[in-house]
Amino acid sequence: MAVLDSIAKNRIVTGFIIGALVFSSILLGGKWLLVILLIFIITASKEYAEILRNKGFLPFSKVIFIISVAMVLISAAGYDDLLPFVLLLGTIGSFLAVLFRGRQPYIANVATTILGFLIAWMPCHVCLIRQMGSDVSLFGITFKQGLYFLLFIFFVILFTDIAAYYFGVKFGKHQLSPVISPKKTIEGAIGGSVSAIIAGLIIGKLISLSLYHSFVLSVIVTVMAQLGDLSESLIKRDAGVKDSGHSLPGHGGFLDRADSYLFSVPIAYYYIKYFIVTGLTFSMIGDLLKKVLYVICS
């Protein structure tokens, strides 16, 4: 019992410190957010490469590192239109590294290298969201509207994680994914999702986001957060490791702590960009699909 209490305390203290650092960097933005993101991506990339080595693969860490850091810097500078080009260079570099390094010239090493910087690419959308929207002034301080969106995502994920854990422990009986993550339950997932949506509706009201967008964005974030968690568990389970690392007491590695953000942040970014900021509607998408079908069928 004493050991469990010690583990729980470490988890709470570490979680509080990480949460405070992330929250502060979101508020401050700029170089502070860039530093936190760089620390995460560099450390998480190392953890990822080590996990894959346990499986017998040899992803090229230097390619992952160079492309990952480049994407973070480009995102922080606001040049998101260059990201596809960097991803292209990374893909070509992954093939060349396998072709000319002379060790295990397997396609699996190319694929795992590409996956490495794709995983790093997803959190880069944090910077892109922080820069979105028009300028907003509060208490004499001017900041981008994207700060509100990022805080929305942060708290929805926070409520998802906390509520899913609580409802899973209290009411969990049916396993969500017995093979990949046997401790997660359907009851926990539902409880986490409902709690996150309620929190999202409240936060949306506070930041003057419409009820419709608050609901849809909450659903997107909470569902993608849980799928990101399961996907990271899939990588660890296949490689036969329990945690991605040991850097964070009670939490494992950086990749373990941020898995909920991997899918949720980029999907939320594109929803915010096209449906909230740009004003795209589903009827407009329907019209576009009709035109595409007309071209295909004609």
Domain count, the chain: 1
Q: Which of 282, 276, 250 is nearest to 134 (CA)?
A: 276
Name the H helices within the chain: 2-28, 30-54, 61-77, 83-101, 107-121, 125-130, 146-171, 186-206, 211-239, 254-271, 282-297
Domain residues for 116?
A: 2-297
pLDDT tier, 3 (very low <50, low <70, confident <90, very high otherwise): very low
pTM: 0.87
Give buried/exposed letters for 265-283 (b at 16+ CB in 10 A, else e). Answer: bbbbbebbbebbeeeeeee
Locate 52 and state its tokens.
């894959």
For 10-55, the pLDDT digits (tens) are 667 777 788 888 888 888 888 999 999 999 898 988 899 888 888 8
For 80-120, the pLDDT digits (tens) are 899 999 999 999 999 998 888 766 678 888 999 999 999 98
Locate 147 and state its tokens.
């700060």
DSSP 248: B
Cα three-residue angle 187-193-194, rounded to 5 degrees: 90
If one counts every other C-beta atom within 10 angstroms of the C-beta of residue 106, the result is 13
| Residues 117/52, Cβ–Cβ less than 8 Å | no
